[in-house]
Amino acid sequence: MPFPRFREQGTEQGGRKSSVLGPRPPAFWSYQVSVSPNSGAVLPGGVPRVGGSLGESKAYPPRPRRRSVSSPASAPWVLRLQRWAEGDPNVRLALLVGSQARTDTPADSFSDIDLALFASEPGRILREVDWIAQLGPYWTSHLEENALGTGEERRVLFEDGQDVDFAVFPVEFLASLVTDPRAVAVLRRGFRTLVNKDSLPLSTPRGEPRPSLPSPSEFANLVNDYWFHLVWTAKKLRRGELLTALEANNGCLRAMLVRIVRWHALARGPPGQDVWHGARFFERWADPRATRAFPETVARYDARSIARSLRASRVLLGWLSDELSESLAFPSPIRDRTGLSAYLDGLLNDRGR
């Protein structure tokens, strides 16, 4: 997938829509394009410069441009995809993004290949499948919503095990893409132009929003949200709705835990460390105590396992929120944690310890 997978989901998990997205930050990519009249592109003759800048205290300094290197195992695949895009007149611009195009945490033998394609007729790539055979025999092909929530992408698993994600956009969408902070965050880590038939000038984003610490109200809301859904999940478990309780525990509660672990890492970890997005490289930036405790918060489809994981989640959330409150000088977000814990224990007592 070429863009981060921590988008808001369209399905309910534990009585709420799962999301680990914080406030949408501003975009910081200076972008300008002009197209010759005979280029065949759909874009107008010029797109005004968009984006902005923040003070040094609010944005990371620009990273130096570095040469992007694909995984040696995937290099033949990248070349094959480049030749396919060059030969298809429908594809006007093809960008290699994600791990295959970055040098910090680059691709390995398990990495997929992420393509952002800008096409005159996106539907031909999304709705038709005959073109896939030009790239090689494949096992599976399916559509799913792209991470920006603007449309669909086609994901293909080829018979050699290589999976390729084709995120397809209309050519005219390029200008608005660079104002989406999720897209900017990915492009900022590196991209490679495979095909640019209309000579559209592209540049690396000049800055990136620094992950921010929560406000007192954001912090209090998340902690209260978490406790509410701990109790909500315990009630589902007590009623015998194991699958609903399991999905809530391993879904929305897990996502909220990751978010608070990220805040904790920003507040108490090394200054300037990269906390990525969603759960990406969680083991690298999370407090080691949190990574050691995390396995106990993941449940199996079993009542006792779910009950144990809910208790473990409560313990993990407790010290994370306590340390965050201390570091940020925030008041305790829960009015009566002792009483709330006792009530939760009462719900879980018959479901194992």
- 171-215 tens-digit pLDDT: 888 877 667 777 776 677 778 899 999 987 776 555 555 678 999
Inform me whether the pLDDT recorded for 52 exceeds 80.
no
CATH (one of 3.30.460.10, 3.40.50.1820, 3.40.190.10, 1.10.287.610) for 24-208: 3.30.460.10
Residue 146's pLDDT is: 86
Rounded average pLDDT over 45-62: 31
Per-domain boundaries in the chain: 24-208, 216-351
Give percent of the chain with pLDDT exceeding 90: 52
- Cα(291)–Cα(212) distance, integer angstroms: 21
Local confidence band at 27 (pLDDT 50, 70, 90 cut-offs): very low
- The DSSP element (H or E) to which 260 belongs, if any, is helix 254-268
Question: Which is more confidently placed, 20 or 169?
Answer: 169
Predicted structure pTM score: 0.59
How far apart are alpha carbons 56 and 60 in whole angstroms? 7
Task: Residue 278: name the closest of 260, 253, 258, 261 by CA.
Answer: 258
Q: Which residue has the higher pLDDT, 308 or 173?
A: 308
Q: Which CATH architecture has domain 216-351?
A: Up-down Bundle (1.20)
| Alpha-carbon span 165 to 3, nearest angstrom | 10
Mean pLDDT of 45-64: 32
The mean pLDDT of the chain is 77
Q: What stretches of the chain adopt beta strand conformation (E)?
A: 12-13, 16-17, 31-34, 46-50, 59-60, 91-97, 113-119, 138-145, 152-158, 163-170, 192-196, 208-209
At residue 276, φ and ψ (nearest 5 deg) are 50, -145
Residue in this structure with the two tokens 């540049």, named with its chain if needed: 203
3 state DSSP class of 119: strand
